[in-house]
């Protein structure tokens, strides 16, 4: 099993993301630069594949995003399409100094545009961090 740069086992990172077996998890924004070790660990925790064409609402959306991917606010609004009212988004962005880094001010502005709040951030690998975005309590169904 791989480890993150902080010597945290990947299983601990997946636990910090709160991904568990039985959840419906949709993945958006995959490209060749994503961390396959993190993806594999999430899939192992799920015991199933990611949802790609949602027939029913999903519990979690994993959104891989780089600065050059376009307007993050639009990306977050699109990610809400298949999300349950109590679900959340894990927005994976490159860390500072990495290609595709997303400025925190842009992330905050995009979250507000999408009607979301930043709950916390987790370092998931040497290259990527994940930001948990949730609907404000008053907006959850």
Note if the pTM is more than 0.85: yes
28-85 pLDDT per residue, tens: 999 999 999 999 999 999 999 999 887 889 999 999 999 999 999 999 999 999 999 9
CATH annotation of 10-139: 3.40.50.150
DSSP string covering 62-84, please?
EEE--GGGS-HHHHHHHHTTTEE
Per-domain residue ranges of the chain: 10-139
- 134 forms beta bridges with 88, 117
Cβ 122 vs Cβ 16: under 8 Å: yes
Q: For residue 138, what pLDDT band results from cuts at 50, 70 and 90?
A: low
The residue whose two tokens read 């307007």 is: 71
């Amino acid at each position: 099993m791989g480890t993150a740069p902080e010597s945290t086992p990947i299983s601990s990172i997946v636990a910090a993301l709160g991904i568990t077996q039985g959840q419906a998890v949709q993945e958006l924004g995959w490209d060749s630069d994503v961390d396959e070790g993190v993806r594999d660990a999430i899939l192992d925790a799920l015991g199933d594949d990611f949802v790609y064409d949602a027939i029913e609402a999903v519990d979690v959306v994993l959104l891989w995003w780089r600065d050059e991917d376009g307007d993050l606010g639009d990306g977050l609004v699109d990610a809400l399409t298949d999300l349950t009212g109590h679900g959340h988004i894990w927005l994976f962005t490159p860390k500072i100094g990495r290609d595709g880094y997303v400025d925190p001010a842009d992330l905050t502005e995009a979250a507000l545009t999408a009607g979301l709040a930043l709950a916390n951030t987790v370092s998931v690998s040497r290259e990527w961090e994940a930001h948990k975005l949730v609907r404000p309590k008053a907006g959850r169904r």
